[in-house]
Amino acid sequence: MGNVIEVRHLVKRYGDVEAVADVSLALPEGDVLCLLGPNGAGKSTTVRILSTLTRASAGSGQIAGYDLNRQTRQIRQSIGYVAQEAGTDAYLTGRENLLVQAAAHRIRGRAAQDRVAELLELVQLEYAADRLARTYSGGMRRRLEIAMGIVHRPRLLFLDEPTTGLDPQARTALWSGLAGIAAEQQLSILLTTHYLEEADQLADRIVIINGGRVVAEGTPAELKARVATDSDHPAGLDEVYQRYAGPVEEVLAP
Ligand SMILES: Nc1ncnc2c1ncn2[C@@H]1O[C@H](COP(=O)(O)OP(=O)(O)OP(=O)(O)O)[C@@H](O)[C@H]1O
């Protein structure tokens, strides 16, 4: 299996601001990669470049086997993207939201009905499928947004801070849900988060970004072993974060 993301030396400048200074990363097919880093580190900008929402000022690579700089249309068909402020229509039901999304991907009729039913089951919203989205809790809305992001069966899903704003219980439920969705749909996932516990639970690989640069990269176990001072006592992810990205107070406590 190859890498579903492989990018080198990405840079993004906005005038004098270098939002991304040097980011290289790889995501093996089927894995979950967590991007960690303080506010303003360049996480969202990196995700926006990888998902073709914005063009890199420099750098190159492949997403789902397509050239990042030249094959944006093919990349868009192969990925899903759930933004921080993703949009569900509050005045449509969960099912209707999904059907609208299916139509946007030219999935119609029976195929759309079937796919939507499958997704409602996958994100455990069957019981609320025909209620208006405005009656959903934060966690339910997040699950609906994730389902909307994968209507077209992408190989790769980007999630920008999927659990920000959720209460701890809803957050934990979403973590186990996401792991199941990734396995069942054969999805690779790249997500940004401020929660170290989220990265610890979900990530096969962690990339820490600070000041627009990758400052540490590895599996959670590798990173913990790297900062451990005593080989009998592996470090926690908070110590890893502190070493590479600064005070943990900047990331949200679980
Ligand atoms: N469109 C833009 N124009 C100018 N500067 C921008 C723009 N987008 C991002 N930046 C700047 O680039 C830097 C990186 O921003 P980015 O949103 O990628 O960080 P982040 O790591 O996602 O932060 P957060 O955790 O707060 O979401 C910040 O200094 C930000 O102000």
The domain segmentation of the chain, as residue ranges, is 3-86+155-250
Mean pLDDT (whole number) for 232-250: 78
CA dist., res. 244 & res. 91, Å (int): 44
Distance 10 CA to ligand 1 centre (A): 15
**Residue from 150, 160, 164 nearest 35 by CA:** 160
What's domain 3-86+155-250's superfamily in CATH? P-loop containing nucleotide triphosphate hydrolases (3.40.50.300)
The pLDDT of residue 130 is 97
Report pLDDT for 250: 52
- 58 contacts: CB under 8 Å, gap ≥ 6: 9, 10, 11
Q: Going by CA atoms, what residue is nearest to atom 31 of ligand 1?
A: 40
User: Which ligand 1 atom lies nearest to the CA of residue 15?
Assistant: 4
Distance 14 CA to ligand 1 centre (A): 10
* Residue 160 backbone phi and psi in degrees, to 5: -95, 105
ipTM exceeding 0.90, yes/no: yes
Residue 104's pLDDT band (boundaries 50, 70, 90)?
Answer: very high
